[in-house]
Amino acid sequence: MPLNELLREDLVFLDMHPKDMPECLELMAQATEAAGAIPDAREAAERLLDRERTMSTGMGSGVAVPHAKTTSCRTTVVALGVVPDGVDFKSIDGRPVHVVFMLLGPPDSTRQHVDLLARIAYLVKAPGVLEALRGATDKNAVLEILRSNRELRHS
């Protein structure tokens, strides 16, 4: 399923102000649980933090894609957070992250997980997409940016 179909409006979190990466992941997991998309925010945040300890998911260009698999998810869940002030994800380019895509999925979702990671990687290269996401003032604008990006529509 394409990224723009997995990302629901209630899983877009604008204007986040975490003090650090762990708090960013906790806030996103809590908001995702509050939206009813995952059953256990604490467990999800722990899995995401474990992944970050293995290797940073900061892709560079202001994007991070924290991702993890968990038995508490029956389907793949995608959330997007925008951090205007940026947050340190120990990105490969050393720059702060402003756009965070969080992926959570069941253990048997490896292919979809990899496909989604590849689609998100296009954001780093697509002209104007990151700037548009950072400047989005409402959730519908974020969804429209993703809908209009050809590379993200297909999977």
| Burial letters 63-73, b for 16+ CB under 10 A, else e | bbbbbbbbeeb
Q: Give residue 33's pLDDT.
A: 97
Residue 99: strand, helix, or coil: strand
What pTM, to 2 d.p., does this model score? 0.92
Query: Is 84 part of any domain?
Result: yes
Tokens representing 72 are 């508490």
Tokens representing 155 are 């999977």
Tens digit of each residue's pLDDT, the chain (155 residues): 677 788 999 999 999 999 999 999 999 999 999 999 999 999 999 999 999 999 999 999 999 999 999 988 989 999 999 999 999 999 999 999 999 999 999 999 888 889 999 888 877 778 889 999 999 999 999 999 888 876 554 44
- As annotated, the active-site residues are 67
Q: Which domain holds residue 21?
A: 3-148
E runs forming strands in 45-139: 58-60, 63-64, 67-69, 77-87, 97-105
What is the chain's Cα-based Rg? 14
Query: Is 155 part of any domain?
Result: no
Query: How many folded domains does the chain comprise?
Result: 1
| CATH number (domain holding residue 60) | 3.40.930.10
